[in-house]
Amino acid sequence: MFFLKNAWLIPAIPGACFFLILFFGKRTPGKGAPIGIAGIGLSFLLALGGALKWISWGADRHPVDRHVTWFKLGGITVTAGTHIDGLALMMLFVVTFVSLMVHVYSLGYMHGDRRYTYYYAALSLFTASMLTLIVAPNTLQLMVGWELVGVCSFMLIGHWWEEEVNSAAAIKAFITTRTGDVGLMLGIITLFFAARQTFDIETLNRLAINGQISHGLLLAGALLLLLGVIGKSAQFPLHVWLPDAMAGPTPVSALIHAATMVVAGVYLVARVYGVFITGLSIGPLGNGINALALIGGLTVIIGAALAFVQDDVKRVLAYSTISQLGYMVMALGVGAWTAGIFHLFTHAFFKALLFLGSGALIHSVHSNNMSDMGGLRKKMPTTFWTFIVGSAALAGLFPLAGFWSKDEILLGADKGGYPLFLWIGVIGAFMTAAYMTRACYMIFWGEYRGEGHPHEAPPSMAWPMRLLAIGAVGAGWLSAFGIHDFPTWVHFDVAGVTHEVVHEYAFSLPLATISLAIALIGIGVAYGYYFANKGPHGLTKRNALAHAGYHFLEEKYFLDKLYINGIIRKIQYPIARGMYWFDQHIIDGFVNGVAFVSRKVSGFVYDVIDQKVVDGAVNGAGFTAEESGGLLRYIQTGRVQQYAAVLFGAAALFGLILVLTTA
């Protein structure tokens, strides 16, 4: 119980490490990295302990809450604390594990970097923020964590900000997710009022499921929150930041943009699921389509399509991430809550593994592009095998992790009454398998096309990859046929609600077989096209339509162009021009006018007032003094008798006056 009650330590320790590394890191041997690794290692052990306790607790396990009062505002008390249940523990485990792997990996990858200490500080801060988000019992603390991970993502993407492309990517990421955050904030406020003035998530869910909130309000809240999810979890149409975010260091991409930050949106939906399920009418009562599933489904296809035309290995993985996030959101959209979460769980392992593997490749080849690689399977065996395992898991091959989780999503779509999304999922699986085969072929087979001598990754980089590979292999078995461990531990329920909100479906062998077959077909097609060189090679050069299609994909559906030229420039430039006009004419005119008036006034003051009036007065005073002096001089003759005459005369006069007045 210690681990569950004191789960607040799990975010607190990396948070403390952030400050320690920031202030003392440079002076310690190892430049702050040992502090960060120790901190995250400790958090991982605590999370592991919590998970084990949860697992061993048995059937009467229930969520554990700890609160402290954060602030009081006009009758509302907002608390901060932890809400630990299966979902939170699973996320804590995943985040701390992947973060630990990335910390260790960075020892080798970021060795000798120009800002090594700040990198580790930012990693610690990011981990702490993500963990805060996960354990949040109310939407306000969740938002704090949300914003903080956004800031850390900005910091880490722009780690090498001296090159403009990196800082531009960081800004793009931040601004795009910020655009979504408008929806998030509005959604939180709407739901605050809907839940009768509380931010607490449990209360919100209970009120929503029990039908005590009006449907319109829930729909509005769900759609607004969805906007935040679209931004943060790189759904269409705000997915454009994630490929550019690959400008950051590869461990950062592994941690933030594969396993943790981007799933914050999915986590939000999973947490506040009561709102979504009632607001968007998800589930058997739905009408076969809703906003959440639609967005997710679109993202699956769009991301997968773009992964085909990338040369940069990290961009392939980025679009793959977008696509897989689409799967998770789609799963939540069709009511397959546990399936979506399970896919989040497994995806974290193999996507992080793939990113770390790509980092090893980049580190040894000194280039991101797959056209500079090739034939590396002999030269980099560990990287090769772990990358293949990761790719297979991603493609959904039995018995690796991806197979089980993707299969559950398809099952949920099928049984939940969403046939459209079942088809989308199947097509997505096909495309996933195909583009990963393409990528593997270009990297590991054929002739080496690059320069220099590629070498295997050092142990600090190799061991995290191996450990993640184990996870990629074994994680899926927690929810395999006959094994219901994962759903038992992690499922959606709300205190005070007795009826089953989300349905779990039993494993369906036919569907599983079909999905495996689809994946194998995908691999086969790609194999034929790339390995065996069959198929219509050079089509895009010969056929104008194909070429146009390829160009369309290459330009990422012209979305970037649309956003920049169509929206940003159309809004930004007129405003900038207007401001410039205002500045030149009105402000400058005002300033010039003031200057002109002051000059005229001062000229007037000088000419008239100073020269004539003041000088005139001064001169006049002097003239008067002189003249009166000249006049008075006549009195002072120096002759005593004259003085005496005046004296006697005055005395006589006074005497007369005295006599006259008193007589």
For other proteins, the binding residues (CB under 8 A) are 633, 636-642, 644-645, 648-649, 651-652, 655-656, 659, 663
Nearer to other proteins, 499 or 633 (CB): 633
Q: In the bound complex, what is the minimum distance in angstroms from residue 633's beta carbon to other proteins?
A: 6
Q: Which CB, 506 or 651, lies closer to other proteins?
A: 651
SS3 state at 63? coil
In whole angstroms, the minimum distance from the beta carbon of 622 to other proteins comes to 19
Looking at the Cβ atoms of 548 and 645, the one nearer to other proteins is 645
Residues 384, 469: contact at Cβ < 8 Å? Answer: no
Can you tell me which residue has the tokens 């061993």?
56
Q: Is 67 helix (H, G, I), strand (E, B) or coil?
A: strand
Taking the least distance from each CB to other proteins, the nearer of 590 and 643 is 643
Question: Smaller CB distance to other proteins: residue 175 or 652?
Answer: 652
- Minimal distance in Å, beta carbon 658 to other proteins? 9
Q: For residues 433-462, b (16+ Cβ closer than 10 Å) or e, as one string?
A: bbbbbbbbbbbbeeebebeeebebbeeebb
Closer residue to other proteins, CB minimum distance, 613 or 644: 644
Whether the CA torsion 246, 252, 254, 255 is positive or negative: it is negative
Q: Report CA-CA distances (Å) from 306 to 285, 301, 425, 432, 624.
A: 34, 9, 16, 11, 98
Smallest gap from residue 613 Cβ to other proteins (A): 33
Which residue's CB is nearer to other proteins, number 499 or number 639? 639
Q: What are 528's two structure tokens?
A: 């034929």
Q: Give me the least distance between CB of 639 and other proteins, in Å please.
A: 5
385: enclosing H helix or E strand: helix 381-395
**Residue nearer to other proteins on the CB measure, 608 or 657:** 657
Question: For residue 178, which phi and psi values (nearest 5 degrees)?
Answer: -60, -40
Q: Any idea what DSSP says for residue 458? A: P
User: How far, in Å, CA of 344 to CA of 94, rounded?
Assistant: 9
How many CA atoms within 13 Å lie on the side-chain side of 477?
A: 6
Rounded least distance, CB 626 to other proteins, Å: 14
The distance of closest approach from Cβ of residue 624 to other proteins in the complex, given in angstroms and rounded to an integer, is 19
Q: Is the Cβ of residue 532 or residue 640 nearer to other proteins in the bound state?
A: 640
For other proteins, the closer CB: 459 or 655: 655
Could you give the CA distance from residue 622 to residue 631 in angstroms, rounded to a whole number? 14
Distance CA 567, CA 559 (A): 11
What amino acid is encoded at 225 in this protein? L
Q: Identify which of residues 56 and 661 has a Cβ nearer to other proteins in the complex.
A: 661
CA dist 46 and 8 (Å) reads: 10
Shortest spacing between CB 646 and other proteins, in angstroms: 9
The C-alpha angle with vertex 94 and arms to 237 and 143, in degrees rounded to 5, equals 50
* Nearest-approach distance from CB 604 to other proteins, in angstroms: 44
Q: What angle, 0 to 180 degrees and rounded to 10, lies between the N-to-C axes of helices 291-307 and 215-232? A: 20
Distance, in Å, from the CA atom of 133 to the CA atom of 136, rounded to the nearest integer, reads 5
Partners of 200 in the beta sheet? Answer: 138
Q: How far is the CB of 610 from other proteins (least distance, A)?
A: 35
Residues in the chain: 663
Whether the CA torsion 629, 630, 633, 634 is positive or negative: it is negative
User: Does a cis peptide bond (omega within 30 degrees of 0) precede residue 63?
Assistant: no
**Nearest Cα residue to 567 out of 157, 167, 179, 233:** 179
CA-based nearest residue to 222, from 132, 332, 340: 332
- Residue 615 Cβ, how far from other proteins at the closest point, in Å? 29
Nearer Cβ to other proteins (597/653): 653
Kind of pairing, strands 64-73 and 76-84?
Answer: antiparallel
Q: Which is nearer to other proteins, 605 or 656 (CB)?
A: 656
570-to-239, 562, 567, 573, 578 alpha-carbon distances in Å: 21, 10, 5, 6, 12
Cβ proximity to other proteins: between 24 and 648 the closer is 648
The answer to whether 218 touches 279, Cβ cutoff 8 Å, is yes
Helices (H), 136-163: 139-157
